[in-house]
Structure 1
């Protein structure tokens, strides 16, 4: 469960000596040359990225929702930069990684709705850089992500989605130590038998799952690995410390390509662009209530400002 103060996860890094030794261990484990000198070089930027990110999030928590997207987007960027420094000691090596890495439509349609908007991946920029550095995922230039499709993969928004879709995209999975109890109805929605489903799970996971048991209500898989919020694919971590799995078939989902930080980054990028450059539409949405957009935007902003700091805090601590 999300801590009352997720920033406590970062407190151990607010010491130059501890930050330096932490980065040294990261670099040495990765076989990076000049690990010691680079850890000294990066310990203060690492601390400042975290500290700067926290200030953005703190300010967002007391700001009107209308300006939160900008604060949360740049706060998330700072935390991403801190994480990238653990694997890429030369960041930013060139100016190509400084761009956001996504783009959106420059001119909005007259009947524009956020849920039906999309962002497009650019060749260079932070999005592709952190996707590869942290998760070994390479996105294709021109790849498009629709907002509604992205929101469907955030567990905390499932009840909100059900209000307009009359169904939930995710199924809750019960975790019991190393056993994972998955509702058997997943086989019907994915049009798979048990054997094919097991292959599907293992293709998208860094862990190895075995079939332990199968009943009318659940498929029970077991693994000797310890799954974490950042290494749980294809299961998706929720802030109440439960896990979910998508009902979509592999070719219809972001299976193996997107994890939650990439999803939050993409949505926040789009919202921050609207907030900055589509002032008339952005202001109108908070007063006219004519679309389904506002409930989703508010729910997402509430979720991301609590969840992302804990997600990255846990990620950094997992590297120790």
Structure 2
């Protein structure tokens, strides 16, 4: 049960991190829970619900039954719409989301530019102005050659839409390709009244310093974000990248092992103990559904008891077969 809001304030007056979990309850029931900030359903089985806190994520789940993802905060939650944008807020936290049809905005770059400009303007009108974590789901993410690859066009548009929004530091983020409506761009975020602490991985070049071979515009994200009360780490999409190069092309098991090494490096950089536990929900984005059983088994061996949601999703580099993101609580 949730305790009173005052009992959940961390030292220094900072509010406790949202509690993220996977639940097999139906979404409508989860939305009635005290402090429900957001609920997510996955793939074709996700039912439509008319509530700004509800999101249908266009990634097919590779496990059955498929749970929903629930974010809980301490305190009452308000929610509503602002033009095309959905939002909810409570306990010092803000969820904001929107879905755009790229055809209405001239393609992937235009849709990303509009999405980020709308989110930027909305956040600047709020008390919860510290963006800590962003998720991006784009159709056909690897389609196109060179600078015309759709993910690279997304990065161009995102930077234009952001302007100077993240001049003082990037949030953690994920960008994954979906197999739903091909023109759909979905973006959602978590923001707070207090700043977090960005975390980089010493094994990897920071994403915004990638060389020109990865596009005109480097991806803008931190590898992870320590939340304001230092009680949780929001982990960005993490793949088999060492330095700035993809590793172990064509070798699923080796890529997954490299990801786990990168995750441990992130925990160390964040000053957190090694390892993951039953309260650390992760997502595994798997390019080829036929690889799901092997990914599932490898993760059960290496991360026993850790809740992992397997989803079909394309990593932003076509040679990479799997990516992980998620949460680690202190």
TM-score of the two chains, using structure 1 as the length reference: 0.28
Q: Which has the higher contact order (CA 8 A, sep 6+)?
A: 1
Larger proportion of strand: 2
Larger proportion of helix: 1
TM-score of the two chains, using structure 2 as the length reference: 0.28
| Structure whose alpha-carbon radius of gyration is higher | 1
